[in-house]
Amino acid sequence: MNPSVAAEVASSPSTVAFPADFLFGSATAAYQVEGAVAEGGRGPSVWDTFSHTPGKVHEGETGDVACDHFHRFREDVALMKRLNLKVYRFSVSWSRVMPDGETVNPQGLKFYSDLVDELLAAGILPWLTQYHWDLPQALEDQGGWANRRTAELFAEYAVVLHKALGGRVRHWTTLNEPWCAAFLGYANGHHAPGRTSPEDSLAAAHHLLLGHGLAVAELRRRDPELELGLTLNFTDYRPADPEAPGDVDAARRLDGSFNRFFASAIFHGAYPEDVLEDQHGLWREGLVQPGDLEIISTPIDVLGVNFYTGELLTGVEPEQASAAAAAARAGGAPNPNVGSEHVASVSRGLPATSMGWEVFPQGLKDLLMRLHREYTGPAGVALYVTENGAAYPDQPDAQDFVQDDDRLSYIREHLRAVRDAMDAGADVRGYFVWSLLDNFEWAFGYDRRFGIVRVDYDTLQRTPKASAHWYAQVAATGVVD
């Protein structure tokens, strides 16, 4: 950015400016955008099986075609360039690269190699996510993430990717949101593979983290200059009544099982003691083996932060909580909050997105400052906001254009929160809006649209929304106005 422009915007209270090297980008996930599920030697993933199971996904929709990114990636990269994106965070489909989870498929690797070449030719930094929930079905048939062997195979998968792409892809995320993969996939069955076992979910969570640690150690050994990390999703949890012990305990519990469970294992080499107490009796004997936490806490360079919302929570008196959780677990619907199934959310009356998530930018600022203070700062690890965005009921005009002022406002205010956190000392180096394209939104099918670019699912035509044009200016200038 021109120094005179920077000085001018810095003096205006209505604008904020980011450093010249701050990375503005966008993100997608393989199953949500690629399609071509039976092409190029790709094998089925758990999401193929899950989405084709009646009753699992909105209106029986699947990712069979999705956005057809597999065939249209060159068009999509050209679109990214027009939007001035500096980074494209994409995920690799394990079942495309290794259809059975173990055997390499050269055709699958070629797709990602071609994608990386196209990005580099366009001057866009490729940011690889190794795993975004689409486990090969063949591995699920052997126990999935509840099976320790999956973690070991995950490290072998990392080596395969590095051999093919490591010379050109320098930014590497092992896992995206292991909480979702473990607890939505194995505890309440809302996500693939659709299991409803609290014990399996804890085994999956541990093995996901173990796989991350094994992969980081192997990649670091092969290439010490790689920038390595993982992406965790965080929610800002607060007590509905800060004076009520039950509400304070409820916030502690979900902050523990959702946020601290993963961050503490990665940065402190231990699961939080209070969370283990909440989940007492649900951890299988011998699940955590000697040396596991040392592997999981292998040093990283980057922590990816996915943030969407905050919640007010309420619960029972602390001395009654364990019994209440056990009763809810035994008699209620499957719940991802393992060990704290009794905790309930309370609306604070804020505007909400189509997902029902309240819009709370202050939560992002507070989270980034907390992460920097308690985890990443002491470890010298950089922060990137690797997902942030909103689904709204878009209304296209006759030209398929969407004047999505609500989404634009959401992104703008969260970018301001990021800048506020940076001003307060948090080492945040990039922001990747979710998502580049409207896409297959997991169990919600195509009903929820997060994209800054509209996709007509009949024609697959891409049309940038108002938020995309605005974000393109932000990416070009570093200025949020």
Is the CB of residue 87 less than 8 Å from the CB of residue 24? Answer: yes
Structure tokens at 439: 């896409």
∠ at Cα 355 (390, 278), nearest 5°?
110
Is the CB of residue 365 less than 8 Å from the CB of residue 420? Answer: yes
Structure tokens at 11: 């003096």
Enzyme catalytic residues: 177, 387
CA 277 distance to own-chain centroid: 27
Q: Give the separation between CA 17 and CA 473, rounded to whole angstroms.
A: 12
Is the CB of residue 480 less than 8 Å from the CB of residue 92? Answer: no
H-only helix segments in 300-430: 318-331, 361-371, 377-379, 405-423
Type of residue numbered 94: W
Q: How crowded is residue 444: how many other Cβ atoms within 10 Å of its Cβ?
A: 16
H-only helix segments in 234-354: 245-254, 261-268, 273-278, 292-296, 318-331
Contacts of 286 (CB under 8 A, 6+ apart): none
Which residue in this structure is represented by tokens 């000085």?
7
Type of residue numbered 425: G
Q: Give the separation between CA 88 and CA 24, rounded to whole angstroms.
A: 9
Pairing of strands 453-455, 462-464: antiparallel
User: 150-154 contacts: CB < 8 A, separation 24 or more?
Assistant: 150/101, 150/207, 150/211, 151/207, 151/208, 151/210, 151/211, 151/214, 152/211, 152/214, 153/101, 153/102, 154/130, 154/211, 154/212, 154/214, 154/215
Residue 33: name the closest of 481, 453, 477, 438 by CA.
438
User: 322-330 contacts: CB < 8 A, separation 24 or more?
Assistant: 322/278, 322/280, 325/278, 329/198
Pairing of strands 302-314, 344-346: antiparallel
Q: Give the separation between CA 58 and CA 440, rounded to whole angstroms.
A: 10
